[in-house]
């Protein structure tokens, strides 16, 4: 028999974005129905942020042991139990899972339906045997791994971020197609855990980050033994016994790689299939749901947030987008998104963090009326005490000093970028950062030092020296 539910808000998708809306709305008094066809927690908890960072943490500890002689500590190389490492990854997921569970959201007061949702009209959907009619809907179905059209790829079993964390056998040679954040993080993690690793990328690695920062990442990976093939076009994949053979074009020559495991990390596609979007009057563009600045779709009763909109695919956008939706859907406030201060981080070692405009983007937007300044980790005392001096912070401002962007390549870059995100969001000028007091010795001092470096050309100029000498001459 078919059941019927009338509710205030119906949310499709139990990942980070959907759960953020559900938790906020139900605790503010709204009647909430949450529909999720798969595992609660979505990609972030099960196949994305959480397992990847847990794997990177294990790799970091293994690498730290190999560096111990730098500190006068002598020990044997780490004995890596790869299956135990993956058990650690699953244990971390299990520890977080109760926070995202059906039981928790039912305790909060949500009605949770574990089934596929499909719109049957602009105000209704069906999930399993239940028809849901809601005043507002939120589509938060996320994204899945994009599979490139490489001949032969669909004829062989390959890994994506959705399956690699189920692999308990350390790869003898892991071939990664894709040099974005996922590919680079997995490359370094597996290399530090004892695998041979090769990365192929049709452009340059980490293409959205400032080239100066990427140069530090590239050098680190190569120093650790990761083989990188940039500007390489994959041509074919075949099985050779139990191995994979990947043929590619690189620098005008055809090369063939042979490896034990193949990971595809070439981006993400929005999950918009089988939702009945046409029946709901929801328009799509370029394979994603089209939204306005208030995150409303072409059907103003239906919002879409997170990866499904094809925008910034970061988990930390989930709570931000959720806040925009709650203000619009519950309080009828015309809140709009503002993404100018969204930070992102690639969690390799050293981390690469970026917020706002990099130098190239700033020049396109502002012409030559911009200024940049840089400061190296090698000039930071805390970095020297920890022998972590490979790093750089770079800032971009207008000629008057308004902060447009910042990028950091170095230890704890993801922690340090928050200051610059706040500065951009509040439209601060560089003097605000230069004037703040940073504790010594901390890596946080690099932000103050780079802000000070912005003033160096004028502060120590001939004009300044003349003014100082004149004032001193007055007694």
- In which residue are the tokens 């001193």 written? 472
Q: Most distant CA pair in the chain: distance in Å?
A: 95
Between CA 184 and CA 413 the distance in angstroms is 16
Could you tell me which residues are annotated as the binding site for FAD?
53, 141-143, 307
Confirm if 232 and 249 have CB atoms less than 8 A apart.
Answer: yes
How far, in Å, are 89, 310, 314 from residue 56 at the CA level? 10, 27, 18
Between CA 321 and CA 341 the distance in angstroms is 14
3-state secondary structure the chain: CCEEEEEEEEEECCCHHHHHHHHHHHHCCCCEEEECCCCCCHHHHHCCHHHHHHHHHHHHHHHHHHCHHHHCCCCCCCCCCHHHHHHHHHHHHHHHHHHHCHHHHHHHCCEEECCCEEECCCCEEEECCEEEEEEEEEECCCEEECCCCCCCHHHCCCECCCCHHHCCCCCCEEEEECCCHHHHHHHHHHHHCCCEEEEECCCCCCCCCCHHHHHHHHHHHHHCCCEEECCEEEEEEEEECCEEEEEEEECCEEEEEEECEEEECCCEEECCCCCCHHHHCCCEECCEECCCCCCECCCCCEEECHHHHCCCCCCHHHHHHHHHHHHHHCCCCCCCCCCCCCEEEECCCCEEEEEECCHHHHHHHHCCCEEEEEEEHHHCHHHHHCCCCCCEEEEEEECCCEEEEEEEEECCHHHHHHHHHHHHHCCCEHHHHHCCCCCCCCCCHHHHHHHHHHHHHHHCCHHHHHHHHHHHHCC
Between CA 291 and CA 325 the distance in angstroms is 12
Could you tell me which residues are annotated as the binding site?
53, 141-143, 178-185, 201, 267, 307
- What tokens were used for 202? 């049709």
31 phi/psi in degrees, rounded to 5: -80, 125
- What tokens were used for 117? 């949702």
Confirm if 118 and 130 have CB atoms less than 8 A apart.
Answer: no
Q: Are strands 261-264 and 173-177 parallel, antiparallel or unpaired?
A: parallel
Could you tell me which residues are annotated as the binding site for NAD(+)?
178-185, 201, 267
């Amino acid at each position: 028999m078919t059941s019927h539910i009338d509710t205030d808000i119906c949310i499709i998708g139990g990942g980070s974005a959907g759960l953020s809306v559900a938790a906020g709305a139900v605790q503010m008094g709204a009647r909430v129905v949450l529909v999720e066809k798969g595992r609660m927690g979505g990609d972030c908890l099960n196949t994305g942020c959480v397992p990847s960072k847990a794997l990177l943490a294990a790799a970091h500890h293994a690498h730290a042991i190999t560096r111990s002689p730098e500190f006068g500590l002598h020990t044997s190389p780490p004995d890596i139990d790869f299956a135990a490492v993956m058990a650690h990854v699953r244990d971390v997921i299990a520890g977080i899972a109760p926070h995202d569970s059906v039981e928790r959201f039912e305790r909060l007061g949500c009605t949770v339906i574990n089934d596929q949702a499909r719109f049957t009209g602009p105000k209704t959907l069906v999930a399993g045997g239940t028809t849901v009619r809601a005043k507002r809907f939120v589509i938060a179905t996320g994204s899945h791994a994009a599979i490139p059209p490489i001949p032969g790829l669909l004829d062989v079993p390959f890994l994506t971020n959705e399956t690699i964390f189920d692999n308990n056998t350390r790869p003898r040679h892991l071939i990664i197609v894709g040099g974005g954040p996922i590919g680079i993080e997995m490359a370094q993690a597996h290399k530090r855990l004892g695998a041979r690793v090769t990365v192929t990328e049709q452009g340059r690695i980490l293409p959205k980050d400032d080239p100066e920062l990427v140069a530090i990442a590239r050098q680190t990976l190569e120093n650790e033994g990761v083989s990188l093939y940039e500007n390489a076009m994959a041509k074919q994949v075949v099985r050779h016994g139990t191995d994979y053979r990947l043929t590619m074009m690189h620098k005008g020559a055809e090369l063939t790689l042979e490896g034990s495991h193949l990971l595809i990390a070439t981006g993400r596609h929005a999950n918009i299939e089988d939702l009945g979007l046409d029946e709901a009057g929801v328009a799509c563009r370029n394979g994603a749901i089209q939204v306005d600045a208030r995150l409303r779709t072409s059907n103003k009763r239906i919002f879409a947030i997170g990866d499904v909109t094809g925008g910034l695919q970061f988990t930390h956008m989930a709570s931000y987008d959720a806040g925009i939706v709650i203000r619009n859907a519950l309080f009828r406030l015309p809140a709009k998104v503002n993404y100018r201060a969204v930070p992102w981080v690639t969690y390799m070692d050293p981390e690469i963090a970026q917020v706002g405009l990099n130098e190239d983007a700033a020049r396109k937007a502002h012409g030559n009326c911009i200024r940049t300044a840089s400061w190296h980790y090698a000039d930071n005392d805390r970095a020297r005490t920890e022998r972590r001096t490979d790093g750089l912070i770079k800032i971009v401002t207008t000629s008057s000093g308004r902060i447009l962007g910042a990028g950091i390549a170095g230890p704890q870059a993801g922690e340090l970028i928050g200051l610059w995100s706040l500065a951009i969001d509040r439209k601060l000028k560089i003097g605000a950062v230069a004037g703040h007091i940073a504790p010594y010795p901390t890596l946080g001092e690099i932000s103050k030092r780079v802000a000070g470096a912005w003033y160096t050309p004028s502060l120590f100029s001939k004009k300044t020296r003349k003014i100082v000498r004149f004032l001193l001459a007055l007694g």
